[in-house]
Structure 1
Amino acid sequence: MFGVYQPDHGEGGGHDGSRRCEIADGPLRLFDPVLGLKQIVEDPARRWTVYAFGRLLDAGPRGLLGLGEALDAGEADPLATLNGSFALVVHLRAKGEVLLVTDRTGSRRLYYGERDGRLWFSSRLARLRGCGFRLRLTDGRLIQYLTFRCVLDGTILEGVDRLPGASVLRWSTGGSSVHRYWGWDFEEDEPPPGESSASSDRMEELSSLWTGAVSRWILPGSDPLLSLSGGLDSRLILVEMLRHLAPGQFRTMTYGTPGSFDYEIARLIASRRGLRHRSFDLSREGDYDRLFSEACLETDGMIDLVNAVNDSHRALGDDQRELVVGYFADSITGRVCLPDVMLDRRLEGRPDRGSATRYLLDRFSMGLWLQVPWLVERPPDWCFEEMVRVLGGEGSGGPRPSLASALARFHCERLAPRFDLLCLGKGDDTIERICPFLDIHWIDFWRRVPPSLRNEGRLYKEFLAWRAPELYALPLRGLRGRGLVEGRRVWDLGLRPNPEIGLVDYEGWLRGGGPFATLIRDLLTAVGDRGILRREAIDRYWDEHQSGSCENTFMLLRAASLEMILRTFG
């Protein structure tokens, strides 16, 4: 989706070849992607019109007309009841204003910037790059990218921002404002002593919510494709799909390299269930330069390309548009892992914010934050303070009262919408990616779950074991072992000795001397020549990895991805 609001009715420019399917609405011009930006409701007097991009499943109790009237009146409360994965563009003609709206999680990317008295907006950053907005990677955003694999605030284009989830941008020639209409407020209190997490009432409620979510998101007769992995989330979707569809009524796929967890375990699950399954071996691709370049464009140059290099959309048939995925699930159900004694620790001031930041850095940067200061030639204290600023609550309503809630809110509000959802970006304008875990009723349940039951996904795992014990018993990503022994049969998964990366054996590829290692070495040399990263540090990390004295896969790939981003958007 791409558009411009130009009150002067000028022609504008830089539409990046997107003139097909143009919707001209006076000063508002919209350029429609394949999936469709559609008018969903209009005031009978044409005072306002609402357009939607994505999938709006439920317009809430007031309906579409009531939604439009509320937005025209400046009310945002009805937005919290909308269900689906969508972005809205609202033209308030009588007021000379445009509203941009995101769903609760921000699952539909929506970037915007003001230039020459006009509001430019798009679901793809590259289109705005073609409208005169230039690359500018600030020191702070460089630190964020190298630490967390993604830019957490703003974008890499000067003057362009991304509208967060659950937000409304109101724009006119007189000014603009952004406000949130909903927030990630989590339960703080623990359950009464002796109460079982897997109580029958709680399991039944979860079961009912999950059945409803899948039935709403996966449409009957759509012949969807399910992306299987070695984790829990795609298994839970599979369980529910098999309750409503025969194995022949949908297909499954995975991608990666033979011997990796996701690749082998997904094939095992598909075999056990008699599913139509395809496995894409990325080690056979060879054209990694193309894959990196395409992934960089599709993910807006905002994340590293470790998880973005895939051709999963190729598994779709000519008449298929729906790819079912399980991203974001662990963020909602309890990705944060804390010692139980720390769950109710209160964040009272700067020292506590610093402690929370240190935990987040250790947990989500895989320890790489300690290498970043030397790589970028910045004082360690400066880098750490930049992380405290971003992670300690600035710009997101401040930290929550307890450490557990603060970390959960950071992950759901800041990290997952940036990294997890951008990993889904490839083919986003032509593929409908369906994620039942984004259902608002499912989300509302997990916000009420006590911290100790969200911690390490305890309740979530118990629910899957209760709902589908036969699938829960199969090997999980992250568990070592050659295979599964069942009766007299041994299911040999053929796992590599160290399959820690779920999809691709990047560690081995970098030491293999093949086309992938050659491409990464060339990219590292180029980014060193730019002077953004220390050449001495890059060469040291490369030599250590090649000798086997250190495993520097993630930092090397992050630095190489940075060069691809600068080439693509520079």
Structure 2
Amino acid sequence: MCGIIVVLAGGGLASSDVTAAVEVLRPRGPDGTGVWTSASGRAVLGHTRLAVVDPAGSAQPISDESGDTTIVVNGEFYDYQRIRRDLARTGHPCRTGGDGEIALRLYRRDGHRALSELRGEFAFALWDERRGELFAARDRFGVKPLFYAERDGRLYLSSEIKALLACGVPAKWDLAAYAAHLQMALPPDRTLFAGVRQLPPGCYLVAGRDGVKIHRYWDLDYPTTEELAEHRTPDALAEHVAEVRSALDEAVRVRTVADVPLACHLSGGVDSSGMTALAARHAPVSGFTVGFPDTALDESPIAARTAARLGLPLHRVGIEPADVAAHLVATLRAGEMVQENSHGVARFLHSAAIRAGGFKVALAGEGGDELFAGYPQSQRDLALSRDPGALDRARAGYRKLSGFGAPRHLRSTLDRLGFLPNWLTQRYLTVVAPSRPLLRREFADLLDGTDACGPLLDQSRSQLEGRPPLHQSSYLFAKGRLANYLLAAERLDAANAVEVRLPYLDHHLFTTARTAALSWYAPEGCTKHVLREAVREELSEEVYTGGKRGFFAPPAAAGSGLLELLRDLTGDSSMRDNPFYEPGAVRRLLDEVGDQSADRAAGNDRLLHLVAGTSLLTTEFGMTADAGQTVGGSSD
């Protein structure tokens, strides 16, 4: 985990151009800073370091012998020792002992094709003085962020939007991007900040005399329905389970390589329990689990039994209801993103506890549900994939929905896919529809004219055609909610100087897991069957037979101080300047929630967090409004 900042211009740049940004990025990398300026004055690269591999060496920026090529890296490249040996054998030896330099040497040997060799969670930027060109890239799933903006003839890139703001980029809401977030997710290249773009996952950026160009180097590639229907031997499932076990074990093993102690996120579910058990086979690890007062949501007792079974120390991080309001501003500022429940605050405090416990690196289980269809909505898409009759009945229902005036983005999806991914329907029912009474009229009109789905569907046609509904839905979820909301937790960890590594989001593991027959995902209703069997010997019977245990923080409506915070906000500039929500409508909602039972009030938890988040971000960053380019509008 590190922070990077790059400024590119026609000339005249100096190290002072990134001084403010480097200071903003210090929480990501408290162990050292470095700045490099090109001889031509066209590029400045800054870096803040969290030293987890080769702590005594490998300071960045790193240059080659000539000084013409220089790189800054955020994240980790795994299996780097093997690549270092191969580079030395082919005449491109590394001078440092860490992993970051391999991207520089691979680039000098292979150019942009170097990306095919890199495995891990990363974002980097490399300046090539000879070519007068900047080369930047982001990992395949989008674990590590990379933002950029153009202003006054300069290009800025950074790990955080705050660093771009420190360079003078204005803080403005992209109203159209927020509308897309409500419907589905941020578009792959947009942020909530107008004029601030993100490099999409699996893409690289080239900036030079021809401007800024974006290219894709990798994409999720699910098998077609025809390929999945190919004949399989009676032993095929057992063979697949063994292959997944091997690939997962390797994905975990390479992520235990570090020169600092390792922690593991441990809950009561299969994903984190299996991952932690495998990690313990390769290195000493300590578990960290979140505990809640609500026993129905508190998984720490199961985590404690798992840790005892594995012989691991376990740290329980207690989260109280009052922590939500107390730490919400810090969480929002760190994440540069709205939060839709209390999970964000819990994650922020969890990482703070990991760091306070003396750890810089942790492994976590994100990606397991995406890879093995663990979500309830994935199971519904799976049912449509396996039963043509169910799909036909669903399509009849969709036609009725269209007749009743379905919103534009859902009609767009139906037109292109012939079905509605269940997670997208649920988002409409739980976010878009309940939000409408709260919206300012101007933003409600913008939301009506937005189609967050159409552009992504059109861009992804080759990856969607011929795939079963489950894989079409999984692809869209990975490109939307996973990359542009769930993985934003990276910034919450980074604010506490903790690097979180995600073995389930390993592209080699994906290549293996993607070939599963549809019948293997949940035979006889046993979800994530392949994963359960792959780690069966690592799990207790309690975890092996347990249902899905996602990270569910208690609703914030009751006893958290969130209602009181929102009532205060409705009376000051935070709500008056909020371009999305009408203060009077919010006050009426707060009165209703205050009179409701705790269970009923919990149904409004997401709305309350969205209102609070947009209001507090408006104040925290001094954001004004910019309509932005309509997503899926006539200009797209």
TM-score range, shorter-chain basis? 0.7 to 0.9
CA distance in 2, matches of 1:525, 1:451: 53
Aligned residue number for residue 75 of structure 2: 54
Structure 2 counterpart of 1:411: 477
- TM-aligned CA deviation for residue 234 of structure 1: 0.7
Cα distance in 1 for residues equivalent to 2:77 and 2:465: 30
* 1:140-289 correspondence runs (5 A): 140-147=176-183, 153-188=189-224, 189-192=227-230, 199-219=237-257, 222-245=260-283, 249-258=284-293, 259=295, 260-283=297-320, 286=322, 288-289=324-325
Give the secondary structure class of the aligned counterpart of 2:191: coil
Q: How far has the Cα of 1:356 moved from its partner?
A: 4.5
Q: 1:100 to 1:330 in 2, by over 3 A?
A: same
The one-letter amino acid of 2:476's match is F
Paired position in structure 1 for 2:130: 94
Q: CA separation of 1:302/1:16 partners in 2, compared to 1, >3 Å: closer, same or farther?
A: farther
1:256–1:131 CA distance, 2 compared to 1 (3 A): farther
Which residue does 1:367 correspond to in 2?
430
TM-score by length of 1: 0.83
What is the DSSP-based 3-state SS (H/G/I as helix, E as strand, rest coil) of the residue aligned with 1:218? coil
**For the residues of structure 1 that align with 2:229 and 2:564, how far apart are their CA atoms?**
55
Deviation readout 1:364-395 (Å, 9 max, x if unpaired): 56632222333324668953852333553447
Question: What is the SS of the residue equivalent to 2:448?
Answer: helix
Match of 1:316 among 355, 380, 391: 355
Superposition CA RMSD, Å: 3.6
Aligned partners of 1:253, 1:365: CA distance in 2, in Å?
A: 34
The one of 577, 586, 600 aligned to 1:538: 586
Partner Cα separation in structure 2 for residue 279 and residue 18 of structure 1: 34
Aligned to 2:383: 340
Contact kept? 1:198, 1:459, Cα under 8 Å: no
The whole-number CA distance in structure 1 between the counterparts of 2:46 and 2:446 is 46
Q: How many residues align?
A: 541
Structure-2 residue corresponding to 1:563: 615
Letter in structure 2 aligned against 1:560:
A
User: Which letter maps to 1:190?
Assistant: L
Q: What is the Cα deviation at residue 43 of structure 1?
A: 4.9
* Larger helix proportion of the pair: 2
> Within 5 Å, which residues of 2 pair with 1:469-484?
470=541, 472-473=543-544, 475-477=546-548
The AA in structure 1 aligned to 2:72 is: Y
The answer to whether the 8 A contact 1:227-1:253 is kept is yes
Task: State percent identity of aligned pairs.
Answer: 18
Q: Which residue of 1 aligns with 2:506?
A: 439
**Cα gap change, 1:432 to 1:382, in 2 (>3 Å):** closer
Q: Residues 147 and 197 of structure 2 are in contact (CA less than 8 Å); yes or no, is this contact kept in structure 1?
A: yes
Conservation of the 8 A alpha-carbon contact between 1:112 and 1:161? yes
Matches within 5 A, 1:392-407: 392-394=457-459, 399-402=464-467, 403-407=469-473
Q: 1:390 to 1:555 in 2, by over 3 A?
A: farther
Q: 1:24 aligns with which of 36, 40, 48?
A: 36
The Cα of 1:289 is off from its aligned counterpart by 4.7
Displacement after TM superposition at 1:46 (Å): 4.4
SS at match of 2:576: helix
Contact 2:147 2:199 in 1 (8 A): yes
- Check whether the contact 1:15–1:130 (CA below 8 A) recurs between aligned residues: no
Deviation at 1:445, TM superposition (A): 0.9
**Cα separation, partners in 2 of 1:287 and 1:349, compared to 1, 3 Å:** closer
2:214 & 2:461 partners in 1: Cα distance?
12
Cα distance in 1 for residues equivalent to 2:239 and 2:278: 19
User: Which runs of 5 or more residues in structure 2 are unaligned?
Assistant: 24-31, 52-57, 93-101, 396-410, 624-636
Partner of 1:494: none
Determine if contact 2:329/2:616 at 8 Å carries over to the other structure.
yes
Residue number in structure 1 paired with 2:328? 292
